[in-house]
Structure 1
Amino acid sequence: MTTPLLNDRDMEFMLYELLDSEQLLNRERYREHSREVFNATLDTAKTIAEKYFANHNAKGDANEPTFDGENVHQIPETKQAWDAFAEAGFLAAHYDFDEGGMQMPEIVLRIANAYISAANIATAGYGFLSLGAANLLRSFGSEEQKARFIPPMQEGRFSGTMALTEPNQGSALADISTYAEPQADGTYRLFGQKMYISGGDQSITENIVHMVLAKIKGAPAGVKGISLFICPKVLVNEDGSLGARNDVALAGLLHKMGYRNTTSTVLSFGEKGGAEAYLVGEPHKGLHYMFQMMNEARIGVGLGAAILGYQGYNYSLNYARERPQGRLPSCKDPESKQVNIIEHADVRRMLLAQKAYAEGAMAMCLYASSLFEDAETAPTEQARSDAFELLDLLTPIVKSWPSKYGLKANELAIQVLGGAGYIREYPVEQYYRDNRLNPIHEGTEAIHGLDLLGRKVPMKNMQGYALFKKTVTQTLATAQADALTTEFVAPLQQALDTLDDVTQTLLPQMARDVDLGLANATLYLDLFGRVVAGWLWVEQAVVAARGLQRENLHRDDDNFYRGKLQAARYYCEWELPEIQPQAKLLKDCNAVCFDMKNEWF
């Protein structure tokens, strides 16, 4: 049984109906494009995904990269996929025409990359990282740095990484020990070790551009002393040719439960006198710069989690439609024909939950991508500012909610398949293993909970939070005006009121005792995420209701829209009410976990 890559009808719905991306053609940057150009871009991505990525998803999982002490070895399909992706121009597609790009909107490219990731998320990881590293250079590098490194990254000759984490310092970047010594020629020498560096070494490109966080000797303590450096695996001469091997050594490959075809590495810098590196921007501002790549990656990780949840849903849905087993409780004839398992109510429950999680997560990530686009190209300064503030608020949720609930969707996909679900001949167990990494990739739930409650909600006098409430209120007004969607107004309004009540209670608690006030921040993150997902499901319901009112509607479209309405109904009646006990714990500032003593375990 072949699993489709996502759902073309749903991607069309997200792009053109929910997010109305065709209106981007009115913006100066995209006036030379058309809806046909957008669709051709997606078709190209889908073709490459099917031909070059899907063919080795299971093979790459079963034959993970190896290291012989000198070189990394990977299955040949990995490089073939990379080359196809690069030759199609996707590593440069978002750049302006005069930079060698296609001037393609962010939202279109996110869906294009979604098809690639749906086919093989591990191999897709190399492109994902390289795009982020090149964007970081483009934003903050000097003209000389950009000229030397970006063109070969656009062409696919060089890849890129982000090197933050250290063996003893996980996400505690303030305490990193990798350091840089300035040289007379203006370069630096790096010394230290980085760990869990995805794509840190591989056999698919000529060179790897590591974007490394380190502290210049004598820098201030904490995050205020972190600088950002370019440190290539192979030095690059002024004429662009490759020079000597830099003092960056692969100390070893890490063996993950998922994403196995994406190398995870331990890198040593400076074992032979110091790795040559180049300061990006100003000293001590490295973490500020790196947040651009980190936030891009957070949205990307959320999207990857949504995609994996979506693929598990697709497969288990097809399986349930084709797998005969058992009879309905009302059937007492043991010799009657078995029904396909989708006829069992509990299977439909599990499929509906998957649909709500996967399509809700996809909508969340693509909405974030549309905010990123608006922050860059919206026609007014106010619109750009509002989009930036709203995206800044929602980024911790966009990373964490899909990572949690996409994984729940994968768990349910396994359950739908029963015994077949946990054997490797079926893909759903790999989807689960791959997705289990995403709640940790780019920061754990706890980190994002602290960020959301401790920083993002209160910052700028709650400007982003106020924008979110305003946006949801507008959806409520629209839903109230349509008979097909009025049922969603009360549950979403109650959820928004509950979120607001909790938020207004927690902020004074934090002011009184910040440790206790933030102790349950992860629970707040989940509550807020459920409300965001609920809002986006009501948004989808509003658009679906509008679609149902079209004349001469094709039966397939009628079924599609009614499926959206039913999923919204499920979410509002089954998932949103879950926030009420969460809200009580948060408003009570429940200290059961906080008060637990180390000695009592």
Structure 2
Amino acid sequence: MSLRPTIDFLLYDWLGAPSLSERERFADHSRETFDAVLDTCERIARERYAPFNRLVDTEEPRFDGERVILPQATHEAQRAYAESGMLSAAQDYAIGGMQLPYTVEAAANAFFAMASVSMGSGLLTVGNANLLMAHGSEAQKRVFALNEFSGRWSGTMCLSEPQAGSSLSDVATRAVPDGDGFEADPLGPRYRLKGNKMWISAGEHELTENIVHLVLAKIPGPDGKLPPGVKGISLFIVPKKLVDTEGQLTGERNDVALAGLNHKCGWRGTTNTLLNFGEGKYPVRGGAGAIGYLVGQPGEGLRCMFHMMNEARIGVGMAATMLGMAGYHASLDYARNRPQGRPVGPAGKDPAQPPVRIIEHADVKRMLLAQKSYCEGALALALYCARLVDEQHTGAPDAADEARLLLEVLTPIAKSWPSEWCLEANSLAIQVHGGYGYTRDFPVEQYWRDNRLNMIHEGTHGIQAMDLLGRKVLMEQGRGLKALATRIDATVQRAIHVPELAAHANALSEALQAVGAATNAAWATGEPTQALANAVPYMQAFGHTVLAWIWLDVALTAQASPASAARTGRLRAMRFFFHYELPKIGAWLAVVSRRDLTCADMPEEAF
């Protein structure tokens, strides 16, 4: 079973991606060039990624005291990806990019995520370089970002610390000016950093000749103390190996040392590290500490870093989606070929009759339909968000601003909803396989282990929920939420005139009203402790409503297409979501609307 028909339908029939070529930035492109990119990425993913997904799971990264060792297949996959040009796909021609719409880039990267998300491709490197293109100096763009886009160097984001976790206000890494002339360095104001960073994906390896770390740290005040809270955080470029102003290695190692590899439940093909900055393992001449170059202004590091974090969050949602999709395809194939049991009813009572394939059982169809509705719906959402990115960057001013607002509201959903429900899809894929699914004879157990990370990294489920209810739906007097409601209502109005979809349109309208009422009820007292006590159930209900909207919008396109098995499948998946999933939001919103404090008020000693 191929992913390509689904990608083509969503990209071309539903989102109308070829129309982007009418815009000046994408004028050299057409469906033919988009297809060529998809063909290339599909081939590389099939040849360089998919065959080695189990290998990188079983041959974990190891440190020999000097270097991190990864399988040769990982090196070859990294090289093939870099040579494809996908690291700079969306960048200007002037710097070697393709000026490809982000919508098409996201669709093309889906093939790699499905083939072997564990091996990685370029998510953090591209996000790192994009941040520098937005907030770095001209020298920082030329020396660091362009070498990342070329694949010569790779990039990381260094936020969390062992003692602080996700609490960035408690960051303790220090950055002090490197001598009297620290501001005169051509690569930016030069500082010396000391501290520790935890959970750094791809923080140490030999896949590229250098690693560009983007590090959050605090500059001490005149009293030598670190400023409290997140407003005192600054952002620094800390390369693994020192470079000159032309981007050439100087031959000197920066004082960035691997303190340990984290041994993970899944996603084992990518190193995850604890890094020590400035602790003296690799002393740098002229002072103590790792050399770092300030990005932007002091104290504005978190604002800059959110550029990368938001991009990474959408990327995490896509990774979760494609892991769910991989499990769906595997379990569908298994169900079509595994004979077991006999049908319910008189015909099934004859033991002399041969067993039927398990896909003929209603409950197996239920599990497959659930997976299809979660994964294809999540893929549609991810590509819709990617289309909003293109609108924000190339649309008319009003349309661009609306796209920005919609992305603000949808980003927590695009990250968290697939992370929860495509993980559930992976669980159902194991269930379809039965006992075999719990063994390493089939890939579905690895897909579940790989996917379990996505509810945690780049902002946990709880953090995303508090961001959604505590900030995103309230920001700018609720303009983002109103813009989303307007788009949902537009879909409802189109669908209500299609007899086959009218009931679903009414159900979506009711769900939207319920979410709006719950939002108001949660904040009725203006007390954050009460409002946010049930932020996760709120996010679950909000996400299900968004996915129901996405499915109904997709169904409108499918309904108008010629009869086919694919058309029937999409309409049935939409129907499943409305009948089996959307009704769940009532229970979630009930505790939100009551500002139920059952959990918040639970005494610690009662546990």
> Is this contact kept in 2: 1:213–1:227, CA < 8 A?
yes
- Match in the other structure for 1:519: 533
Instruction: Confirm whether residue 393 of structure 1 aligns to residue 388 of structure 2.
Output: no
Q: Distance in 1 between matches of 2:430 and 2:181?
A: 58
| Aligned counterpart in structure 2 of residue 278 of structure 1, from 278, 281, 293 | 293
Measured in 2, the distance between the counterparts of 1:84 and 1:93 equals 14
Structure 2 CA distance for aligned equivalents of residues 238 and 488 of structure 1: 60
Task: Look up the SS of the partner of 1:251 in the other structure.
Answer: strand
Question: What residue is the counterpart of 1:350 in the other structure?
Answer: 367
| TM-score after normalising by structure 1 | 0.96
One-letter identity of the residue aligned with 2:367:
M
Shift of 1:150: 2.1
Measure the CA separation in 2 of the matches of 1:344 and 1:293: 45
Which runs of structure 2 are paired with 1:50-129 in the superposition (5 Å)? 50-125=46-121, 127-129=122-124
Q: Conserved in 1, the CA contact under 8 Å of 2:21 and 2:27?
A: yes
- The AA in structure 1 aligned to 2:356 is V
How many angstroms apart in 1 are the aligned matches of 2:493 and 2:381? 20
Q: CA deviation at 1:169?
A: 0.6
Q: Aligned partners of 2:30 and 2:500: how far apart in 1?
A: 33
- Offset, 1:179: 0.9
Q: Distance in 2 between matches of 1:523 and 1:580?
A: 10
* Residue in structure 1 matched with residue 581 of structure 2 by the alignment: 575
**Aligned AA (2:528):** V
Matched letter for residue 102 of structure 1 = M
The yes-or-no answer on 1:427 pairing with 2:422 is no
Q: Retained in 2: the 8 A contact 1:485–1:545?
A: no
Deviations 1:200-220 (A, max 9, x none): 001211000000000011163
Q: Which amino acid aligns with 1:230?
A: I
| Counterpart residue number, 1:213 | 216
Kindly provide the CA deviation profile for residues 504-561 of structure 1, in whole angstroms up to 9, marking residues without a partner as x: 211223x1x221221111111111001001111111111110113xxxx5xxxx1111
**1:171 to 2:157 alignment:** no
Q: Which residue of 2 aligns with 1:415?
A: 431
In 1, the alpha carbon distance for the partners of 2:145 and 2:591 equals 50
Aligned to 2:315: 300
Partner residue of 1:315?
330
TM-score normalised over the length of structure 2:
0.95
Q: Deviations over 1:126-150 (max 9, x none)?
A: x111011110111111011111112
Residues of 1 paired with 2:227 and 2:68: CA distance?
37
State whether residues 522 and 530 of structure 2, in contact with CA within 8 Å, keep that contact through their aligned partners in structure 1.
no
- What amino acid sits opposite 1:9 in the alignment? P
Q: Is the Cα–Cα contact under 8 Å of residues 133 and 161 in structure 1 kept in the other structure?
A: yes
The alpha-carbon deviation at position 156 of structure 1 amounts to 1.1
One-letter amino acid matched to 2:388: L
Contact 1:390–1:468 (8 Å) recurs in 2: yes
Unaligned stretches of 5+ residues in structure 2: 183-189, 281-287
The answer to whether the aligner puts 1:475 opposite 2:491 as a matched pair is yes
Alpha carbons 2:129, 2:146 under 8 Å: kept? no
Given candidates 555, 563, 566, the residue that maps to 1:541 is 555
Question: Equivalent of 1:501, from 495, 517, 521?
Answer: 517
Find the residue that maps to 1:437 and give its secondary structure: helix
- 1: CA distance, partners of 2:408 / 2:127: 17
The aligned amino acid for 2:125 is S
SS in 2 for 1:464: helix
Contact kept in structure 2, 1:505 and 1:587, CA below 8 Å: yes
SS at match of 1:594: coil
Deviations 1:55-80 (A, max 9, x none): 21100000011012211001001010
Residue matched to 1:230: 237
Deviation string 1:88-124 (CA, Å, 9 cap, x unpaired) is 1111111111111000000101011110111110112
Q: How many angstroms does 1:488 deviate by?
A: 1.2
Could you give the per-residue CA deviations for residues 270-316 of structure 1, whole angstroms, max 9, x where no partner exists? 01220000000111000000001000000000010000001100110
Distance in 1, Cα, partners of 2:561 & 2:245: 57
Q: Distance in 1 between the 2:109 and 2:386 partners?
A: 12
Q: CA deviation at 1:241?
A: 1.7
The 1-side partners of 2:181 and 2:129 are apart by: 25
Aligned length: 585
Quote the Cα distance in structure 1 between the aligned partners of 2:549 and 2:424: 20
Q: 1:381: which partner in 2?
A: 397
Inter-partner Cα distance in structure 2 for 1:357 and 1:185: 56
Contact 2:139 2:245 in 1 (8 A): no
Return the letter of the residue paired with 1:305: A
Answer whether contact 1:496 1:531 (CA < 8 A) is retained.
Answer: yes
Amino acid at match of 2:481: Y
